A = this chain, B = another copy of it.
Amino acid sequence: MDYEQVIAKIYEEVKPFWGQGKVADYIPALAEVNPRQYGIAVQTLKGDTYQVGDAGTRFSIQSISKVFTLAMVTRHLGDEIWKSVGREPSGNPFNSLVQLEHEQGIPRNPFINAGALVVTDRLISLYDRPKDAILEFVRGICGNDDIYYDKHIAQSEREHADRNLALAYFMKSFGNIKNDVETLVDVYCHQCAIAMNCIDLARAFLFLTDRGLNPYQQEQILTVSQAKRLGALMLTCGFYDESGDFAFRAGMPGKSGVGGGVVAYIPGNLSIAVWSPELNQHGNSLIGMETLERFTTDINNSIF
């Protein structure tokens, strides 16, 4: 079977899972989404794109944006960032304050909310217009200039940002946030509200699949080592408290968002983005996780 057939088959097999998960409701704007949507896009390093279902429908990428901001900051700061953020799985739900307190304001990793806030804080220090810079970066890596913030989602995020404000002030009390907290949370709410479709997202992970080289601009935006390390981080920490389980079942580095998107990739080979809004108990797309597990099984390939 080729990729086209594989994803078509999985699409039919997994579609019946609709209704088993639950759309994110922590912000009203996300809760408005029609749950019965499901798309898959595969992008190979050779340049082929395969898609099925709602692969062309835009959705809110949410935490997937954490990979983009981390790549931007890593590019400028290198290992400097690891003085302020750890690299260990958290062993706790994604917005937990417990470990943060225990470790004196140093988040466990850059993919829990606390860690992503520190990364965005550093990004704000690096760019005069951070919101523009983020858009420009994302457009560059997916080769599509038509990427924007969903202002309605961003606004709704901002109105329900109490937990992130708490995290940011808490870390500021330890000296690990440098910029104004209100500004930080504004930028952070915007990055989560970037709207992309599965095809955009699969392409946006090509620079990681190709170990740092952005094929759309023929530019090495991360060193090979940096790209590999970002992959290791995704494998160990990319799916909140289900990271170990996802590595076990699917065997690929990847990242999910509460908007229902999941992206993963096999280095040197391909990237795949799946979207379906209903989440499982860990906050990851139920259909997305199931799809990826079947994908590596069916193509008989993973990183292990």
Bound CA span A35–B15, Å = 53
Count of identical protomers in the assembly: 4
Q: Quick check: is A284 within 8 A (CB to CB) of the other chain?
A: no
Contact-residue size bin, chain A (C-beta under 8 Å from the other chain): 35 or more
Produce 1/0 per residue, A69-113, CB < 8 A to B: 000000000000000001111111000111111100000110000
A92 surroundings in chain B (CB, below 8 A): 91
Residue in B108, B168, B251 whose CB lies within 8 Å of A91: B108
A91 surroundings in chain B (CB, below 8 A): 88-92, 99, 108
A89 surroundings in chain B (CB, below 8 A): 88-89, 91, 236, 243-244
Q: Quick check: is A233 within 8 A (CB to CB) of the other chain?
A: yes
Chain B, residue nearest A302 (CB): B228
Residue in B211, B225, B227, B241 whose CB lies within 8 Å of A88: B241
A101 surroundings in chain B (CB, below 8 A): 96-98
A96 surroundings in chain B (CB, below 8 A): 101
Q: Quick check: is A129 within 8 A (CB to CB) of the other chain?
A: no
Produce 1/0 per residue, A140-180, CB < 8 A to B: 00000000000000000000001101111110110000000
Give chain B nearest CB distance to A289 CB in angstroms.
14
Chain B, residue nearest A26 (CB): B173
